[in-house]
Chains A and B, each alone.
Chain A
Amino acid sequence: MISTQIALVRREILEHRSIWITPAAVATVVTLLAIAMVVAVAAFGEVLNADIAMLADMTAPESVRRAALAASLIGNTSVFLIAMWFLAIFYCLDALYAERKDKSILFWRSLPVTDAETVVSKVLTVLLVIPLATFAAVVVSHLLNLIIVSIWMAAEGANPGRAIWGAVPLFDTWGAVSTVLFALPIWMAPLFGWFLFVSAWAKRGPLLRAILPIAILPILEYIVFKSWTLGSAILTRLRWDAMPIFDKIRTAGFDDDDLHSMLTENHSLVSWLDYGSFLSSIEVWAGLLICGIFATAAIYMRRYRSDR
């Protein structure tokens, strides 16, 4: 059972190479930008990033330098988050469609693997594997960026050992980043469930067939009932900043631009995340339930689809 599930998830990684290529590509671009920035600073003497400038200033309090380092790392991470958002959506739309398109479904179904096991492996991929691959790329990107800045600082005569590696809150940042990366697919689970169902159902053009109903139904609701409940629910699920994991930050009155102030007030990023609020949120559990319903429908669709 477990070995079958591992083999199925491995199949997803091999079949949908974008699962690891996308985060790797983002990590490459982010690293190249970091190199370009350091080269620009070295060449023109201009400091393009205020956070980096702060690091070199050893007279600044450590809490300020920690905040600067964390803010710099988190700034990079948002690019990964955006990439993962798109990656997960397109993965779900392709997950049960690709095997029908290339007709390999008959081979996969010739093996002693149930349709439920197959669909579960796709759900696990979007909920666990994609965030894990993205997190791995984030970690590598953070380390490369810190190494690049360290080299630059050393060339400038500063001591990166103390200025960067002694101050950087790596594990706290990674703890926070991994939490957000794993929370996002759970938050978006009802949409992913819907996309998986469409990928099992659509004869062609799953993207259009997935988007049209979630675009049209809220408009119909507005026209008929003059209400915007469905539209609001769907839009909320598409926004990661709406996740209950950020409740504590919202309650404190901070927003995305206030990282420095937040971290100066409480230097641990993880402590700003509201695990209790996320885990006790009815919206989160209802979303998972909806995802489960759509995944079950996808199982039945896969079972009966090749009927035609």
Chain B
Amino acid sequence: MNSLVTASNVSKRYGDVRAVDNVSFEIEKGKIMGLIGPNGAGKTTLLKAVLGLTDCEGQLSVLGLDPFRQRKELMQNICFIADVAVLPRWIKVTQLLDFMASTHPNFSRTRAEELLSRTKVRNDAKIRELSKGMVTQLHLSIITAIDARLLVLDEPTLGLDIIFRKEFYGNLLNDYFDGERTILITTHQVEEIENLLTDIMFINDGRIILDSSMGALPDAYVELVTSGEEAEKARQLGPLYERDVFGKKVMTFEGVDRERLKGLGDAHTPSVADLFVAKVKGAVS
């Protein structure tokens, strides 16, 4: 079985609000999937459903398990970082390692201590004495020391400075990701993880509006910087979204052959952030 997560017509309502609206997708083994969406788009709700923290309608299978009803079994093979501030502030690092070793069958204390020895986190320190960046380092070290098949990261670097953010993703790739493990990640700082991702999913108003491999994006989407008459000609090709930048027109096309855009301006593959804006705003307009 190559598919680690399979969602089929998954929905989640809070009263009259559909936080997740009939979504279907698959995440395969060995992928780094980015889940991108604006605030309130349903990202966290979807992640919670994947993690078994909330029940949902439809069929959702994670590692072949029903995440809500088989959460304990699931958590032996999944780990997640929900936010930088969630480690209990009263606990000492060594006590946390003790707890992990006693409760998690796939946790390697030796590996965690080895990873922590590369940081400034002292074993006898309490979490409340550590900086936000150090707490994240600690959390990532613990997660990395778990032999888990799926890692879910929900805004893992929120509130961290650029150095810690870069270090976090560097360590994630070097220490955790081995091509066999799978990562599902959401973040607002999409430009920082763009190069890590193998696959991407956009979610807006509870619906998946893009589900693609990163490799397929250049064939499917083109961004054209143009102006004047060329802009008018390009507009005839039906851009997904158009915006003004320094007096030039920037158009995003979906499913338009690059050859047809030749001579109409500077054509290139849009960044994930620009593509996201185009997909969300283009859908609105």
Contact = CB atoms under 8 A, between A and B. Distances in A.
A252 to B, nearest CB: 48
A110 B76 CA distance: 9
B75 interface: yes
B79 A113 contact: no
Contacts of B80: 110
Contact of A15 (B72, B88, B103): B88
A176 to B, nearest CB: 35
Contact of B89 (A6, A102, A307): A102
Interface string A288-308: 000000000000000010111
Interface in B38-56: 48, 51, 53-55
B87 interface: yes
A106 B99 contact: no
Interface in A91-106: 99, 102-106
A122 to B, nearest CB: 15
A112 B99 contact: no
B73 interface: yes
Contacts of A143: none
Given A7-B102, A111-B104, A102 B88 contact: yes
Contacts of A111: 75, 100, 103-104
Contacts of A11: 99
B220 interface: no
A103 B72 contact: no
Contacts of B51: 110
A6 B54 contact: no
B72 A113 contact: yes
Contacts of B95: 14
B89 A110 contact: no
A4 B103 contact: yes
B90 A15 contact: yes
Interface in B243-282: none
Contacts of A306: 48, 53-54
Nearest to B95: A14
Contacts of A99: 88
A261 interface: no
Contacts of B104: 111-112
A125 B82 CA distance: 28
Interface residues of A, number: 27
Interface in B90-107: 90-91, 95, 98-100, 102-105
Contacts of A110: 51, 75, 79-82
B85 interface: yes
Contacts of A114: 71-72
Contacts, number: 73
How would you classify the secondary structure of chain A's contact residues: helix, strand, loop or mixed? helix
Interface in A1-44: 3-4, 6-8, 10-11, 14-15
A225 interface: no
A119 B251 CA distance: 56
Contact of A307 (B54, B76, B88): B54
Given A112-B104, A113-B103, A103 B85 contact: yes
Interface string B183-220: 00000000000000000000000000000000000000
Given A10-B99, A14-B90, A14-B95, A112 B83 contact: no
B162 interface: no
Given A99-B88, A112-B75, A106 B82 contact: yes
Contact of A103 (B76, B86, B105): B86
B258 to A, nearest CB: 44
A275 to B, nearest CB: 35
A308 B95 CA distance: 30
Contact of A104 (B55, B74, B88, B98): B88
Contacts of B102: 3-4, 6-7, 10
B90 A112 contact: no
8 contacts: A4-B103, A10-B99, A103-B85, A109-B53, A110-B79, A112-B72, A112-B104, A307-B48
Given A110-B81, A304-B55, 19 more contacts: A3-B102, A6-B102, A7-B98, A7-B99, A7-B102, A7-B103, A10-B102, A11-B99, A14-B95, A103-B86, A104-B87, A107-B88, A110-B75, A112-B73, A112-B74, A112-B104, A113-B75, A307-B54, A308-B14
Closest 9 CB pairs of A and B: A7-B102, A104-B88, A112-B75, A106-B82, A107-B86, A112-B76, A106-B86, A307-B54, A114-B72
